Structure 1
């Protein structure tokens, strides 16, 4: 029977000289030695430990080489929207003609789009009996965007100028979505 250190060292030596992957070399050596009944579990486990350790260290070396040759550039762009007030007035329909035209020709479509952009279910405006959904949406928008006002103000605005209030809410969502923080990362390899 072959001694354990010698067999293990010869397996490692053969693996290093071979052009095939370690798994193929291991199978070849295993098949060659199993016929002679010289390969036992101890040698096999030591050889597998050596393969795993060498693979681990080569992966660490590859990661450190890639990290040394790449740079990450981060660009942060922030546009602030004044908080405390609505960004557009209740009668500023001309500031966003797309929303105004959508409200004029298909008001329920504009409502569903506005609610969907805010993150609610798009069919909520279809359930708007007695302006409950409209008041809740306006209140949640004021809370999220830190706009001053009260439930009474929201109800009066919706009661006297319902389409204009919805256009204002739609414009507000669009303005806040455009004015968020944009983070761009670029990875360059040298």
Structure 2
């Protein structure tokens, strides 16, 4: 049995229905759909809440909109190349379905077209939905219109503070979560009837 992170489990064992029986057709369909889902998604996890390894409460931002200097490296990157920050955020928020390069290129083109706020606020809305964050201090579209630099920095910090590193790929984050799960120390089991 292999766990791919946050909810998708691949099992090489046969599964059984509630009454304990499984037809050959049901087993083949279950196995085919699991394998097809994994092969077509390349570690893309169906919508499940993100893991919360930090234990931060849902429903509130971990930093303010104007706390850009909390992460100086990201602040400078966003000031000079905001498409890179949006690309990193989008790749992780969309769970690897869009590449960092593709999202960044779209955002760069939209900056020059003057309508980047529409694209940026969609990812902010998705991020808020994942962690039940309030639409504060203003609605997402207005925040991105007024100061998209601050909004992108806040989104990046939010992901990072919640244990999701946007500077690495989605796959690397999933592997990191899997490593954290496998490093748990499990005490050895004893055979029944063994006593000292």
Q: Give the TM-score of the pair, scaled to structure 2.
A: 0.49
Note if contact 2:63-2:154 (Cα within 8 Å) is conserved in structure 1: yes
Change (3 A) 1:149 1:104: closer
Q: Are 1:111 and 2:64 an aligned pair?
A: no
Larger Rg belongs to: 1
2:184 equivalent in structure 1: 185
Q: Are 1:101 and 2:76 an aligned pair?
A: yes
2:124 equivalent in structure 1: 138
Give 1:34-183 correspondences, 5 Å limit: 78-118=53-93, 119=95, 120-121=97-98, 122=100, 123-128=102-107, 129=110, 130=115, 131-149=117-135, 153-177=139-163, 182-183=180-181
Note if contact 1:124-1:133 (Cα within 8 Å) is conserved in structure 2: no
Runs of 4+ in 1 over 6 A off after TM superposition: none
Note if contact 2:128-2:134 (Cα within 8 Å) is conserved in structure 1: yes
Q: Distance in 2 between matches of 1:117 and 1:149?
A: 20
More off after superposition, 156-165 vs 170-179? 170-179
Q: Distance in 2 between matches of 1:112 and 1:78?
A: 24
Q: Give the TM-score of the pair, scaled to structure 1.
A: 0.50
Q: Tell which has more relative contact order, 1 or 2 (C-alpha 8 A, sep 6+).
A: 1
Measured after TM superposition, the shift of residue 175 of structure 1 is: 1.0
Measured after TM superposition, the shift of residue 78 of structure 1 is: 4.8
Measured after TM superposition, the shift of residue 143 of structure 1 is: 0.5
Measured after TM superposition, the shift of residue 139 of structure 1 is: 0.7
What is the aligned-residue RMSD (CA, Å)? 2.9
Larger fraction in strand: 1
What runs of 5+ residues in structure 2 fail to find an aligned partner?
1-51, 166-175, 189-196
